[in-house]
Amino acid sequence: MSLKLLIRSATVEDAPAISALVTASAREHIASSLSDSGLSHLLSEMTTENQAKRIRSGYQFFVALESDTLVGTAAIRLPSHLYYLFVDTQHQRRGIGRQLWNHARDWIASSPNHGPITVNSSLNAITAYERLGFAIAGPPEENHGVRYQPMRWANAT
């Protein structure tokens, strides 16, 4: 049916593929909710150089691979903020995002001194995050023209 999914920690060598995936996903799924300047700012944050810098500076990135092709990524800004959760459009609706989230959540839970798990959801991804157990944690916000919905994982034990 579907190919075997491998989830592993990302390395700096994964930065170009991560950048390509998140940039394409942002253009397709987030752009319509942003102003031109907001989209420009968001895309400027998604460059290969910025992904490599985040990996080097301690963000925990995971990549999901099928047949050595990157099909999804998750990133955690320490101690417990879900910074990215993206799945390639052609691979969506197959449980890859949930598997990445479960992997990231388990990693956070095993880390010392983690706090509540938070995410800044794009406005069109709120329902997807709610399906993963997140709840709205305040009014929508905007930073550099990028509008997002702060959310918090509600299923913490």
What are the extents of the domains in the chain? 5-115
CATH architecture of residue range(s) 5-115: 3-Layer(aba) Sandwich (3.40)
Residue type, 23: T
pTM for the whole structure: 0.87
Q: How far apart are alpha carbons 42 and 27 in whole angstroms?
A: 10
Q: Which two tokens stand for residue 33?
A: 């909710």
- Cβ atoms of 153 and 118 within 8 Å: the answer is yes
Tens digits of residue pLDDT in 112-129: 777 889 999 988 889 999
Beta strand pairing status for 81-87 and 118-121?
parallel
- Cβ atoms of 154 and 128 within 8 Å: the answer is no
Tens digits of residue pLDDT in 54-79: 999 999 999 999 988 899 999 999 88
